[in-house]
Chains A and B, each alone.
Chain A
Amino acid sequence: MTTLIYTILTLSVIGVVAAIVLYVVAQKFKVEEDPRIDETEKMLPGANCGGCGFPGCRGLATALVESDDISALYCSVGGDECMGKIADYLGKAAPKKEPQVATVRCGGTCEKRPRTNSYDGATSCAIASSLYVGETGCAYGCLGYGDCVAACAFDAIHINPETGLAEVDADKCTACGACVAACPKGIIELRKRWPKNRAIYVSCVSKDKGAVTMKACKAGCIGCRKCEKVCEFGAITIENNLAFIDSTKCRLCRKCVGECPTGAIKMIGLAPLVKKDEVKEEK
């Protein structure tokens, strides 16, 4: 009987002491927080991808609640709809952004870009690119070790084993920008997302002179300026031997695609434009 009483007593004392300690600690380290942060966080997609520039959704939620002007804050995963809801809840002006999609700008497939050596280091684009030019003669192209794949929280980018290049699954891509930051070669760009994932872009980032590019890769941009001349919207600029199509100016007219001698301008979800000479014949 005494054992029982002692046990109950000891446990009770421990319980009380622990409760007091917990209470004191809880009071001492109490953090006052705006309850709206929790609500806002719930409205965000909860992917914690870091695409907004904050460590996670809670970081963005805190910023959204605390800053008066939220026009610079945006969750590309949730998009306009999500941001609109949050803005309504917080009573602030909703930030708007055109939907975007990540685009891999390299067309140097195994076939077009012959391998000159075998890389035998750790499977990481960052490590390989800090060591040397890569397995091919092109210093700008996709290395294919999948740093972007590892960075993607949405399973939207993969290395195609046949081409050795990264490919974006546009339906899954949320334009969070994680792959853009992960790619040491700066190949991936966030471009305007057209309906049905249509796109026209220069699938090359090589700044080498035309002859050098041509030697390393059959699908590279050689900076010949043919596309620039044909573009009616001023969307194409050539800098450092490299064409660039500004996706905010491009109207998907497809004229440049046929002009490119190396096929570096890629077209997705669009039928090829009827060729010029055929048009002439009709006339």
Chain B
Amino acid sequence: MKTFPIGGVHPSDNKQWSKSSAIAVMELPDVVNIPLAQHIGAPATAIVKKGDSVVVGQKIAEATGFMSANIHAPISGTVTAVDLQPNGQGLRQMMITIKREGDEWDSAIDRSETLVTECNLEPKEIIAKIKEAGIVGMGGATFPTHVKLSIPDGKKAEILIINGVECEPYLTSDYRTMLERGEQLIVGTRILMRAIGVSTAVIGVEANKPDAVQHLNSIIGAATDIKVQMLKTQYPQGGEKQLIAAVTGRQVPPPPALPIDVGAVVCNASTAVAVYEAVQKNKPLIERVITITGSAVPQPKNLLTRFGTPIEAMIAKCGGLAEGDVKVINGGPMMGRAMSNIAMAALKGCSGVTIMVGSAAKRGIESACIKCAKCVEACPMGLEPYLLSKQARKKAWDAMEANDITSCIECGCCQFTCPANIPLLDYVRLGKQTVMGIIRARNMKK
């Protein structure tokens, strides 16, 4: 079975908790806090002010420049504040607060269930619609999709890869989306192919989701433009570079090279569905499927949630938090961010909330490195995490740069596998951030 060329680990996937629960609709929240920074790039600029009334789907914040994304109202009601509010990490960010009144939608949005397969728009028009709808990568990286689809001059896309891998343990939102919204996904994929001008697309799905592969194949039928590729269940199969290598056999060169340099464009499965809704139904990105899961969650669920809904409320809907020690993770356990403030809003990049309890909430005790080389073996980018973390502790930034720290994708394989429980990635990430800062400063000087 196809997989990526180096490294990788096999965490137990723990998808059993939420995998068989069909997508349910989360109740509308009474108040939402919508941060202006929900994507990589410049935060959006608010275009509403206190006292304005808004309807669902109305644009409330506009992209600041190209590398940014629009934000739309997920509920209808009155804007009560545009102010600093704490996010999931407790840091205060600019947010738009809306108090809900009913559920009134923008009239331009087609809310019917009918599948619209026909799309005759020009690529530019498609990208413009996607940009207008504020779509960003929904796998977690939140890279604005219109930026990804705008192929730079001199480069040519050859293949579109839809990321249905969902290699993060626990999460099942993409899986349920593929099962329940497969038709929309396929149409979305064809729209994306049209937008970047390619004639082939591959949907990569991990081998632990055979029913999703079967379902998508049955929708595609005899058509040959889209192929579903089953991939080995191995973390980080869903990493953009790993997925491209697994599907095409081509390795994206080290940074600053991008996937387009090997002719590939990768979009998440949920993003493809959002693209369908934006282009065919005029519906901006205002909601998504979010998995609430964990071994101690009474009723794990996949919830179709409007953005801005407090994560606390979603956890309550799934039966609430267990007593005692907990860790609430925005995302999956390998790359998700632990939250200190669970009143935070569900956002565009949130594919799930994983709740660890008891001893699982805590890390193991660090001991001495025994140089077992397991981190080197596990690193999917061919780096030496033991060395990089040691250099980061010594603040040897130059040495880290020489050892290709910028290639690190922060997947966590090294720390996952370390028998001595050394917080390898904590230090490697610190080093990567610092080195990237140094490089940026150097480029600015030039």
Contact = CB atoms under 8 A, between A and B. Distances in A.
Instruction: Give yes or no for direct A-B contact (beta carbon below 8 Å).
Output: yes
Interface of A: 116-117, 120-122, 124, 126-127, 130-134, 137, 139, 208, 212
Contacts of A212: 92
14 contacts: A116-B340, A117-B340, A122-B426, A124-B430, A127-B423, A127-B429, A127-B430, A130-B429, A130-B430, A131-B338, A132-B91, A132-B337, A139-B90, A139-B92
A13 to B, nearest CB: 41
B426 A121 contact: yes
Contacts of A131: 89, 337-338
Interface in B400-446: 423, 426-427, 429-430, 433
Interface residues of B, number: 18
A137 B90 contact: yes
B363 interface: yes
Given A121-B426, A122-B423, A122-B426, A139 B340 contact: no
Contacts of A122: 423, 426-427
Contacts of B338: 131-132
A122 B362 CA distance: 12
B90 A126 contact: no
A129 to B, nearest CB: 10
A116 B89 CA distance: 12
B89 A126 contact: no
A182 to B, nearest CB: 9
A127 to B, nearest CB: 5
B86 interface: yes
Nearest to A137: B90
A127 B431 CA distance: 10
A122 B365 CA distance: 10
B363 A120 contact: yes
6 nearest A-B residue pairs (beta carbon): A133-B90, A132-B89, A122-B426, A122-B423, A117-B340, A127-B426
A116 B363 CA distance: 18
Contacts of B433: 130
A133 B430 contact: no
A131 B90 CA distance: 10
A131 B327 CA distance: 14
Contacts of B430: 124, 126-127, 130
Contacts of B337: 131-132
Given A116-B340, A133-B89, 10 more contacts: A120-B362, A120-B363, A122-B423, A127-B423, A127-B427, A127-B429, A130-B430, A131-B89, A208-B92, A212-B92
A121 B430 CA distance: 12
B142 to A, nearest CB: 18
B423 A121 contact: yes
A207 to B, nearest CB: 10
Chain A CB count within 10 A is highest, among B86, B327, B337, B340, for B340
A119 B343 CA distance: 18
Contacts of B89: 131-133
B426 A124 contact: yes
Interface in B81-100: 86, 89-92
Given A116-B340, A117-B340, A134 B426 contact: no
A130 B426 CA distance: 10
B92 A134 contact: no
A117 B338 CA distance: 11
